[in-house]
Structure 1
Amino acid sequence: MKRLFLVEDDLSLINGLSFALKKQGYEIDVARTTQEANTLWVDGRYDLVILDVSLPDGCGFDLCKKIRQTSKVPILFLTAADEETDIIMGLDIGGDDYMTKPFKLAVFLSRINALLRRSENFSQQAAELHSHDIRIRMLQREVYKNGALLDLTASEYKLLCLFMENPDAVLSPERILSKLWDCDENYIDNNSLTVYIRRLRTKIEDNPAEPRRIVTVRRMGYKWNTKG
């Protein structure tokens, strides 16, 4: 049975979500403040974390950063903070998905199921990926170039993994977006993807102006090039 960790201060929402999640067969622990969350959080106890951003004594973003220091557990932000900058921030610091309130319960449950499936698939992958001078240690979520540790955001890390797991395959923007994020496409769209790829290239390419690893395939998408 999967155990979920809900960090939310709205009692009526807690009651509604707890009922719905338990009906789906999940166990659930609840924290209403960051202090309670820090007390309850133990890596390995939970299969998924649901975080509000605005809490009475702190911020869900800070909790996400703390969790990501030790854990790769899936994190879903569920919050009224619906500005584009908030959504990008949540994904960049390690969130796997971001839903804004109000929301439809069926969609919420679908996102939960999708994140859990994705996490199970991830755990079955190889421990390392290696191509050119780039090496990814999957369990540690670390990326090295020529032996030097790179500083990647969570979104950049997931994007790089997707490319290296599909060498020489052309990935359309739509496929990349669907694989990495379930968020509203009004926020995570082709323009946002272009920004992520440009930022990733600055960190992994010898010459970002002439990329040789992540190459653009005109009118089709992008691919991880292993031949040059």
Structure 2
Amino acid sequence: MQTYHILLIEDDLSIVENLTAYLTAEGFSVISASRQEQALSLLETFHPDLVLLDITLSQGNGYSTCTAIKKTSQIPVIFLTALTDEFSVVTGLEMGADDYICKPFRPRELVSRIRTVLRRTGAVSSVTVLGSLSVDTVRGTVTKHSQELFLSALEYRLLLFFLNNRGKTLTRNVLLEEIWDLAGDYVNDNTLTVYIKRLREKIEDNPQEPTIIKTIRGIGYRLEIPSET
């Protein structure tokens, strides 16, 4: 699986440490800079796939840094800042930023929006292929043996969550939170079991012996990464 490189331009050391640890655990390669001059120098040596950029820096500022980045490259930029007023958001986007995320933020949402920007800008393909299964996240379609499958909103949400965490064992509690966020109502462990069963019936060649979504007994589930051939 390809590793995507992120340049984090932020002068709050606690945010740098926590965010670097989280993004690294999610499979990204991260390098950080606290000053505009340092960040622009790293662009030439690190060659990031995406930049996370705060507006307030110890030297320089995010707006001028974004302008400098966009003058010489097409690297996507996401502003990550505590400035939440409309003027700051509009200014950031007009400077060429690809997204604007306000602090405090939810790490899982940040990762999802990073991947969305990478797909939209062409750094990441919108189509994921798992054997006979193909998921196009831009069109929102899932096909199996070239035939489109019809998934409910919750089934599709679960599948995307597995895809975004492929190769990782996800506990039942984490998956329940994902269902609850979308359903808006209380859901229990039996509900998760039902949706996993329904999803497997649609995407697996043999739901009784699943090869895509594996059960990790006593813990949860894991979406298997097909072996390279």
TM-score, normalisation: structure 2: 0.51
Alignment partners' CA distance in 2, 1:121 and 1:40:
19
Deviation at 1:38, TM superposition (A): 2.2
Name the residue aligned to 1:113.
115
Q: Secondary structure at the match of 1:69?
A: helix
Q: Secondary structure at the match of 2:121?
A: helix
Name the residue aligned to 2:95.
93
Deviation at 1:123, TM superposition (A): 9.0
| 1:12-23 pair list within 5 angstroms | 12-23=14-25
Alignment partners' CA distance in 1, 2:45 and 2:71:
10
CA contact (8 A) 2:118 2:124 kept: no
Name the residue aligned to 2:28.
26
Alignment partners' CA distance in 1, 2:22 and 2:124:
26
Q: Summarize the Cα distance change of 1:121–1:23 in structure 2 as closer, same or farther, 3 Å threshold.
A: closer
Deviation at 1:119, TM superposition (A): 1.7
Unmatched segments (≥5 aa) in structure 1: 125-228
Residue 38 of structure 1, aligned match among 37, 40, 50:
40
CA contact (8 A) 1:43 1:71 kept: no
| 1:1-228 pair list within 5 angstroms | 1-42=3-44, 45-120=47-122
Unmatched segments (≥5 aa) in structure 2: 127-229
Alignment partners' CA distance in 1, 2:20 and 2:42:
17
Which AA in structure 1 matches 2:30? I
Which AA in structure 1 matches 2:103? K
CA contact (8 A) 2:78 2:98 kept: yes
Which AA in structure 1 matches 2:90? I
Q: Secondary structure at the match of 1:54?
A: coil
Kindly report the root-mean-square deviation, in angstroms, between the aligned alpha carbons of the 2 structures: 2.0
- What's the CA shift string for 1:43-63, capped at 9, x where partnerless? 881100000000111110000
- Name the count of aligned residue pairs: 124
- What's the CA shift string for 1:176-227, capped at 9, x where partnerless? xxxxxxxxxxxxxxxxxxxxxxxxxxxxxxxxxxxxxxxxxxxxxxxxxxxx
Q: Secondary structure at the match of 1:55?
A: coil
Q: Summarize the Cα distance change of 1:94–1:122 in structure 2 as closer, same or farther, 3 Å threshold.
A: farther
TM-score, normalisation: structure 1: 0.51
Which AA in structure 1 matches 2:4? K
Percent identical across equivalent pairs? 37
Q: Secondary structure at the match of 2:48?
A: coil
Alignment partners' CA distance in 1, 2:123 and 2:35:
32
Deviation at 1:35, TM superposition (A): 2.2
Deviation at 1:118, TM superposition (A): 1.2
Q: Secondary structure at the match of 1:42?
A: helix
Which AA in structure 1 matches 2:99? D
Which AA in structure 1 matches 2:6? L
Alignment partners' CA distance in 1, 2:55 and 2:43:
17
Which AA in structure 2 matches 1:38? L
Deviation at 1:39, TM superposition (A): 2.0
Deviation at 1:83, TM superposition (A): 1.2
Alignment partners' CA distance in 2, 1:118 and 1:44:
22
- What's the CA shift string for 1:12-50, capped at 9, x where partnerless? 110111011111111111001112112212288110000
